[in-house]
Amino acid sequence: MSDMPEQIDDLIYAPDPDYPYPFPVPQPPHFWMTEQTGKLSVAVERYFSGERLSPDDLRLLRSYLHQYVARAMIAEGADRQALLRKIETLKSNRDVERFADELSEAGIEPF
């Protein structure tokens, strides 16, 4: 992984050498806590606390989840492309929660 920050959409991720992605993948996913603008952490905290997510929160979470699912190690037999397509359908806290459960079943833990 590069030592340089990476911008994805309007989020900027900085690598954290103290918390590297634990699996050998071509391009490791970024964890939400390494995002530098602070916008993603606000959206994630709202999600964790059960507050209603705004359209912008959902947009940021979808962007984060897309890069994570695209790059993360995935369980054998899981359909990465189907998971990536599903990200665009997330419209509420409950949708994100169900999707996180589905990701967990595929061996992906973005939160």
CA end-to-end distance (rounded Å), the chain: 20
Is the pLDDT at 2 greater than 80, yes or no? no
Is the pLDDT at 55 greater than 90, yes or no? yes
Express each pLDDT in 74-93 by its tens digit. Answer: 999 999 999 999 999 999 99
Residue 37: what pLDDT? 97
Express each pLDDT in 9-41 by its tens digit. Answer: 999 999 888 888 999 999 999 999 999 999 999
**Considering only CA atoms, which of 24, 46, 23, 42 is closest in space to residue 33?**
42
Cα distances from 69 to residues 44, 49, 52, 72, 93, in angstroms, run: 16, 23, 23, 5, 18
**E-strand spans in 1-111?**
6-8, 11-13
What's this model's pTM, rounded to 2 decimal places? 0.94
State residue 11 phi and psi, 5-degree precision: -105, 145
- With a pLDDT cut of 70, the percent of the chain lying above it is 98
Give Cα 62 to chain centroid, integer Å.
7
Residue 1: what pLDDT? 55
Q: 3-class DSSP state for residue 78?
A: coil
